[in-house]
Structure 1
Amino acid sequence: MASHNDLGVKGETIAKEHLEKNGYEILDENWVHGKAEIDLITYLNRQIIFVEVKTRSSTAFGLPEDFVSDAKQKQMELAANEYIELMNHQGEIRFDIISVLFDKQNNHTIKHIEDAFWPEN
């Protein structure tokens, strides 16, 4: 596996642990619908939260969360709609981003951006 894939898996593990520590129930990981993948699908306070995890080892090209493009948001929305229908969820939803940034000493910082975006219909 390429080192950037290893970094991504490591970031998703850190994000999952962060969410669980904060009371989120993990419903699904790496859920795929069509071309879209949602890294983590969680549940908290009767709300389904669709989470995109971005992990980087440098900010040379921008912050990790800057890499959640409009196209990615649209793909997440399509996948989320399918998931909501499959689960027959009648409550609220939201889209979060978790940014994991590693430094040269392999220490990391995590930023959880709640309600990071709301895809347009």
Structure 2
Amino acid sequence: MAEHNDLGKWGEEYAAVYLQKQGYVILDRDWRYGRSKSDIDIICKTPDMRTVVFVEVKTRATEQILAPEDAVNVQKVRHIGRAAHNYVQMYDVVEELRFDILTIIGRKGSDDIQINHIENAFNPLLV
């Protein structure tokens, strides 16, 4: 597996642990509908169990020219929106919905890992 894939998988695991420590309940990870290319990194419920959150995780080894959250472009938002729509239909979700971005800058084993949880980062209906 390519190094960037390893970093991404580690970042998603780190994000899931972070969310659980914040009281979120993980429902699914790397969720994909059928053979679709649209996937959702983490699907969870808020600590009060009132909102289903679709989380896009972006991991970078270092802070580069482009901020990790800037990599969530219009095309990616549309893909997440389609996947979320399928998830809501498949599981009859009635809770509020929210779309977050969770960025991680650092590497496995590092003492200097930066995490930024951006709640309500985007609305796929508006793109």
Q: Identify the TM-score tier after normalising by the shorter chain.
A: over 0.9
Aligned position for 1:16: 16
| In structure 2, distance between residues paired with 1:68 and 1:35 | 15
* Higher fraction of strand: 1
For structure 1, which runs of at least 5 residues remain unmatched after alignment?
Answer: none
Aligned position for 1:118: 123
Aligned position for 1:60: 64
TM-score (normalised: structure 2): 0.89
Deviates more, 1:59-68 or 1:6-15: 59-68
Tell me the alpha carbon deviations over residues 5-60 of structure 1, each in whole angstroms, 9 at most, x when there is no partner: 11001111110011000111000000012120100000123211000000001222
Give the aligned length: 120
| In structure 2, distance between residues paired with 1:120 and 1:92 | 14
Q: Give SS of 1:117's match.
A: coil
Q: Give SS of 2:125's match.
A: coil
TM-score (normalised: structure 1): 0.93
For structure 2, which runs of at least 5 residues remain unmatched after alignment?
Answer: none
Which of 75, 81, 86 does residue 79 from structure 2 map onto? 75
Aligned position for 1:35: 37
What amino acid sits opposite 2:50 in the alignment?
Answer: R
Runs of 4 or more off by more than 4 Å in structure 1?
none
Task: State the identity as a percent.
Answer: 42
